[in-house]
Amino acid sequence: MKKKRKTQLRAVIGIGNYKGGVGKTTTTLNLAMALHLQGYRVMIIDMDRQANLSSCTDWKPDMELNHYPTIYHVLCEDAPIPVYRSESGLYYCPSTSIMNKVDQQLPTMRNPAMKLTRALQKAPDDRTGEGITDWTTDFDFILIDSPVGPQVLIDNILIAVNAVLIPINLEGFALNGLQNYLAYIQEIRETENDELTNLGFLVSRRKANVRGQREAEEQLKQRYGKQVLPVAISEREAVAKSQREFTSVYSIANAGTPREEFTLLANEIIKRTKTLLQ
Ligand SMILES: Nc1ncnc2c1ncn2[C@@H]1O[C@H](COP(=O)(O)OP(=O)(O)O)[C@@H](O)[C@H]1O
Ligand SMILES: [Mg+2]
């Protein structure tokens, strides 16, 4: 696999939406893999207590019992961000069920919403033995999988990143929730993080031949124009299966279409980070 010779962090991207089940975790993992397969060095950070993203890495719950650090330790104990490496080639910081405690613990600490930002200003805690010392020179992309709450975690992410990618479903009240999320992004941009850029909306579970969905997608495009990404991810059994097997679509059979779609997504993200950031 080709390796880019010199890395220079292009983007710290939060993958977020107030809604659950819209494909945030699926997008984080597969976009990360697609970027990695193009030769980029990619770090993924799991901020969700459900730890679904972590289960798609080499992280094992017994590591937690043996006191290997996780995102919890970063947020609640001011630990540097641990960097582990998965067999797949992705670098990751896992979440854990003890993230349940952040709701109570974080708000009692000083500047609770700044924890992730501060951690990214410190050197990483290299657990790979590869000599990782610096976010900027060791990585091209950092992708952060967002939970739907508590708010303090969403704040941590939106303040720390320079970009967000918003997976959406076109069902029911999807667009109402979207407006709330966008309004909140705008608020954070005005108060805490003026670099915060919206990379766009990704239709992440596009159903074939469902008329209501097509109409909703048209509405979305009319309203938000180019903010709607020109690529979408089709709803496919192969995507669901890859999640059930705790891996990406790049390591299961019969996943040609999702692979192509996530590769197109990666190309679009590379393009947008080039043109919209800096
Ligand atoms: N394109 C897709 N095709 C089929 N199933 C999908 C697709 N995207 C996501 N899913 C499934 O939908 C469920 C929710 O996705 P997930 O990424 O966990 O959402 P979120 O992180 O936003 O809660 C998972 O079971 C996942 O496998
Ligand atoms: Mg998720």
Cβ of 235 closer than 6 Å to ligand 1, yes or no, is yes
Nearest CA to ligand 1 atom 14: 21
E strand intervals along 169-266: 197-203
As given in the structure block, the two tokens for residue 185 are 């992004």
DSSP assignment of 99-155, as one string?
A: GGGHHHHGGGSSSGGGHHHHHHHSPPEE-SSS----HHHH-SEEEEE--S--HHHHH
| Whether 126 contacts 132, CB under 8 Å | yes
At 66 the pLDDT is: 86
Cβ of 243 closer than 6 Å to ligand 1, yes or no, is yes
Per residue in 217-239, pLDDT (tens digit) is 888 899 999 999 999 999 999 99
Q: Are strands 42-46 and 11-15 parallel, antiparallel or unpaired?
A: unpaired
As given in the structure block, the two tokens for residue 102 are 């952040």
At 216 the pLDDT is: 86
Task: Give dist(CA 254, CA 250) in Å, integer.
Answer: 10
Sheet of 141-145: strand order equals 125-126, 82-85, 91-93, 42-46, 141-145, 11-15, 163-168, 197-203
Helices marked H in 38-134 — which ranges? 61-65, 71-77, 102-105, 115-121
Instruction: Please list the pLDDT of the chain residue by residue as tens digits (278 residues).
Output: 455 556 789 999 999 998 899 999 999 999 999 999 999 999 999 999 999 999 999 999 889 888 999 999 999 999 999 999 999 999 999 999 899 999 899 999 999 999 999 999 999 999 999 999 999 999 999 999 999 999 999 999 999 999 999 999 987 666 778 889 999 999 999 999 999 999 999 999 998 878 888 888 888 899 999 999 999 999 999 999 999 999 999 999 999 999 999 999 999 999 999 988 86
| Whether 272 contacts 198, CB under 8 Å | no
What's the predicted TM-score (pTM) here? 0.96
Q: Tell me, in angstroms, the distance from the centre of ligand 2 to residue 49's CA.
A: 9
Which stretch of DSSP H or E encloses residue 126? strand 125-126
At 5 the pLDDT is: 52
Q: Tell me, in angstroms, the distance from the centre of ligand 2 to residue 83's CA.
A: 20
- The pick from 205, 207, 260, 265 for probing ligand 1's pocket by mutation, whose C-beta has the most ligand atoms within 8 angstroms, reads 205
Per residue in 37-69, pLDDT (tens digit) is 999 999 999 999 999 999 999 999 889 888 999
| Whether 174 contacts 168, CB under 8 Å | yes
Q: Tell me, in angstroms, the distance from the centre of ligand 2 to residue 20's CA.
A: 7
At 212 the pLDDT is: 81
Share in percent of the chain as helix, strand, coil (round to 5): 45, 15, 40
At 251 the pLDDT is: 96
Per residue in 131-145, pLDDT (tens digit) is 999 999 999 999 999
* Domains, the chain, ordered by start: 11-276 (3.40.50.300)
Closest ligand, as measured to the CA of 51: 2
